[in-house]
Amino acid sequence: MEEQKTLKNLMEAFAGESQANRKYLAYSKKAEAEGKTNAAKLFKAASDAETLHALKHFEVAGKISDTSENLKDAVMGETHEYKDMYPDFVKEAEAEGNKAALLSFTFAMKAEEVHARLYQEALDNLGQTEEIFYYLCPVCGNIEKEIPEKCPICGVPGSKFIKY
């Protein structure tokens, strides 16, 4: 029984540390934009520290499998987001007239569908040795395998995409 409680605590800690990571990263970007370099660096360091904590909790919880299983899990998670989670969020934002949230949810929903497809492709081609590059839209989170002229989701110029 105690082990189950510890597993629950590890997953709660993972969630909390993961959220802190993103929050502090957002704070770092804001401080940087305001020219507050020291605060920006502190927030970035804390963000990276929270990532270390989150990754260790996830590992200790036994939630990291082999790459094939991890890809299957990723397909499932992204599919849930674009098919079940975001459509409801979009409807609610629309009903409330919150245009900023509507756009944020719509961009994410469309990008998550692409992510699910790319994870499935990676799973289907797991034995492939030819290196593939991925390009991330810094506005909506879309990922492409080639730099587009413009993002098919948000329209940002392809020159802004980040190579991985």
- The per-residue pLDDT for range 18-56, each reduced to its tens digit, is 999 999 999 999 999 999 999 999 999 999 999 999 999
Choose the final residue of a domain: 37, 60, 83: 60
Coil vs helix vs strand at 80: helix
The candidate with the shortest Cα–Cα distance to 122, out of 149, 106, 143, is 143
Choose the final residue of a domain: 28, 60, 92: 60
Do both 81 and 33 map to the same domain? no
Do both 51 and 89 map to the same domain? no
Do both 37 and 83 map to the same domain? no
Do both 43 and 99 map to the same domain? no
- Cα–Cα distances (Å) from 116 to 9, 92, 101, 123, 145, in that order, read 29, 24, 22, 11, 14
Do both 51 and 36 map to the same domain? yes
**Domain count across the chain:** 2
Do both 106 and 123 map to the same domain? yes
Do both 71 and 53 map to the same domain? no
Q: How confident is the model at residue 1 (pLDDT cuts 50, 70, 90)?
A: low
Q: Please report, for the domain that includes residue 129, its CATH number.
A: 1.20.1260.10
Cα 58 from Cα 51, distance rounded (Å): 10
**Host domain of residue 105:** 67-163
Do both 90 and 155 map to the same domain? yes
Do both 81 and 112 map to the same domain? yes
pTM for the whole thing?
Answer: 0.90
Give the bridge partners for 163, in sequence order.
Answer: 135
The pLDDT tens digits for 105-148 are 999 999 999 999 999 999 999 999 999 999 999 999 999 999 99
Here the tokens at position 62 are 């036994």
